[in-house]
């Protein structure tokens, strides 16, 4: 039986299952000072989401003599808040739940594309202000347009399927994938995706290679006219990670019309403070909620429980990141 720290919350059902199995679960968010003081060394396992940052320093502090910490679980996908090599050096296994939120992010991406092309947020806002803006809110369809996916992992493939069923042509760039469905137009040069598509959706990790990948030059390559001849303008959605879209370049493109809409669920700085985007009609924002659904939370909890059970039974879950 183990002691498990849950620092950023987890599904109630999952916590109950662990407790019923005899584990001790402490649901507690720790400050960075507490983490650096080695508070996690008292636990066998820690489960985080994105709020708790497990830097090399924190991992070192959690791995002093007498430390029991052997398992870091990320309830979710992105592990940019965890220094995996520091964990490996200290003999700590790192696991995430990569598939659990796919469907939620796919739906959010499609929702953002339709909502922004059809002015759904602006329509609701002006209606609440007592304005009947019918004439000003003409939109465009997503059917008959080309969608470019930056990255072709699990979520992007889900978006590709949904977009194709809604009548879009799908293009993609991902130098790390070996194979892809033959109906997706793969490009070796990311610029070609921007040249081919009025709609771009970002699905890669944030890295030195992808930081500010969406910038003035590439937005400038987007055609603004759909395959069907419609002057639909250019549209970008990112539910991936902040920093891949250069927000200041994108704001400029919204301002000068090269970009008609920009929907961001993720930002270079979160929480988003003051931003020129917030006063622009073509901007649509959400506070990093693409994976925030009851369903994803439930699936994450179930997967994390399995990983923890395996860890406590065998010392090694069947899947891990290190």
Tell me which residues are annotated as active site.
241, 270, 288
Choose between 56 and 136: whose C-beta lies nearer to a copy of itself: 136
Render 178-208 in DSSP notation, one character per residue. S---TTSEE-SSHHHHHHH-SEEEE-SPPST
Q: Smallest gap, in angstroms, from Cβ of residue 20 to a copy of itself?
A: 19
Binding mask 220-239 for a copy of itself (x = CB under 8 A): --------x-xxx-------
Applying CB under 8 A, the span of 142-150, 175-183, 202-210, 248-256 interacting with a copy of itself comes to 142-150
Q: Nearest 5 degrees, angle CA 233-CA 242-CA 98?
A: 105
| 150 within 8 A of 193, measured Cβ to Cβ | yes
Q: Smallest gap, in angstroms, from Cβ of residue 220 to a copy of itself?
A: 22
Those residues with Cβ within 8 angstroms of residue 96's Cβ, 6 or more apart along the chain or in another chain: 73, 74, 76, 77, 78, 79, 321
Structure tokens, 45: 């396992």
Question: What DSSP designation does 171 have?
Answer: E
Q: Any contact of residue 99 with a copy of itself (CB under 8 A)? A: no
Structure tokens, 37: 């003081």
Cα distance between residue 25 and residue 37, in whole Å: 20
Q: Smallest gap, in angstroms, from Cβ of residue 259 to a copy of itself?
A: 16
Binding mask 164-203 for a copy of itself (x = CB under 8 A): -xxx------------------------------------
Residue from 119, 196, 201, 261 binding a copy of itself (CB under 8 A): 119
Strand partners, 60: none
Binding mask 290-309 for a copy of itself (x = CB under 8 A): --xxxxxxx-----------
Q: Smallest gap, in angstroms, from Cβ of residue 289 to a copy of itself?
A: 5
Q: Any contact of residue 53 with a copy of itself (CB under 8 A)? A: no
Q: Any contact of residue 16 with a copy of itself (CB under 8 A)? A: no
Q: Smallest gap, in angstroms, from Cβ of residue 311 to a copy of itself?
A: 27
Those residues with Cβ within 8 angstroms of residue 187's Cβ, 6 or more apart along the chain or in another chain: 171, 172, 173, 193, 196
Those residues with Cβ within 8 angstroms of residue 211's Cβ, 6 or more apart along the chain or in another chain: 243, 244
| 190 within 8 A of 215, measured Cβ to Cβ | no
Choose between 279 and 318: whose C-beta lies nearer to a copy of itself: 279
Nearest alpha-carbon partner for 153 in 58, 77, 64, 250: 77
Residues of span 240-299 touching a copy of itself by CB under 8 A: 270-274, 278-279, 284-289, 292-298
Choose between 36 and 272: whose C-beta lies nearer to a copy of itself: 272
Residue from 93, 110, 193, 251 binding a copy of itself (CB under 8 A): 110
Q: Any contact of residue 27 with a copy of itself (CB under 8 A)? A: no
Size of the site for a copy of itself (CB under 8 A): 60
The 10 Å CB-count burial string (b at 16+, else e) for 180-194 is: beeebbbbeebebbb
Cα distance between residue 284 and residue 223, in whole Å: 21
| 296 within 8 A of 101, measured Cβ to Cβ | yes
Residue from 141, 154, 205, 258 binding a copy of itself (CB under 8 A): 141
Applying CB under 8 A, the span of 33-41, 68-76, 139-147, 250-258 interacting with a copy of itself comes to 139-147
Cα distance between residue 34 and residue 130, in whole Å: 50
Q: Smallest gap, in angstroms, from Cβ of residue 10 to a copy of itself?
A: 14
Nearest alpha-carbon partner for 112 in 101, 100, 120, 122: 120
Q: Which residues bind a copy of itself (CB under 8 A)?
A: 103-104, 107-108, 110-112, 114-115, 118-121, 123-128, 130, 132-134, 137-144, 161-162, 165-167, 228, 230-232, 270-274, 278-279, 284-289, 292-298
């Amino acid at each position: 039986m183990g002691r498990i720290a849950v620092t950023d919350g987890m599904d109630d059902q999952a916590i109950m299952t662990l407790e019923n199995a005899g584990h001790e679960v402490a649901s507690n968010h720790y400050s960075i000072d507490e983490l650096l003081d080695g508070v996690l060394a008292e636990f066998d396992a820690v489960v985080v989401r994105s709020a708790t940052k497990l830097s090399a320093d924190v991992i070192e502090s959690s791995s002093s003599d007498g430390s029991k910490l052997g398992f870091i679980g990320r309830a979710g996908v992105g592990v940019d808040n965890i220094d995996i090599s520091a964990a490996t050096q200290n003999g700590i296994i790192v696991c995430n739940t990569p598939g659990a939120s796919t469907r939620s992010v796919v739906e959010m991406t499609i929702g953002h594309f339709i909502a922004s092309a059809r002015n759904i947020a602006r329509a609701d806002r002006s209606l609440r202000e007592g304005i009947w803006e019918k004439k000003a809110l003409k939109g465009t369809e997503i059917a008959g347009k080309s969608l470019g996916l930056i990255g072709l992992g699990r979520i992007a493939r889900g978006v590709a399927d949904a977009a194709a069923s809604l009548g879009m042509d799908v293009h993609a760039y991902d130098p790390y994938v070996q194979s892809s469905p033959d109906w997706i137009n793969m490009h070796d040069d990311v610029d070609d995706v921007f040249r081919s598509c009025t709609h771009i959706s970002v699905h890669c990790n944030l890295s030195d290679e992808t930081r500010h990948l969406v910038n003035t030059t590439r937005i400038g390559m987007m055609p603004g006219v759909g395959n069907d001849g419609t002057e639909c303008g250019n549209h970008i959605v990112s539910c991936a990670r902040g920093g891949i879209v250069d927000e200041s370049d994108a704001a400029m493109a919204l301002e000068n019309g090269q970009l008609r809409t920009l929907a961001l669920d993720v930002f270079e700085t979160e929480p988003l403070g003051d931003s020129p985007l917030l006063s622009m009609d073509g901007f649509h924002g959400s506070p990093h909620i693409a994976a925030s659904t009851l369903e994803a939370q439930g699936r994450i909890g179930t997967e994390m429980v399995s990983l923890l059970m395996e860890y406590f039974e065998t010392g090694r879950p069947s899947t891990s990141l290190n």
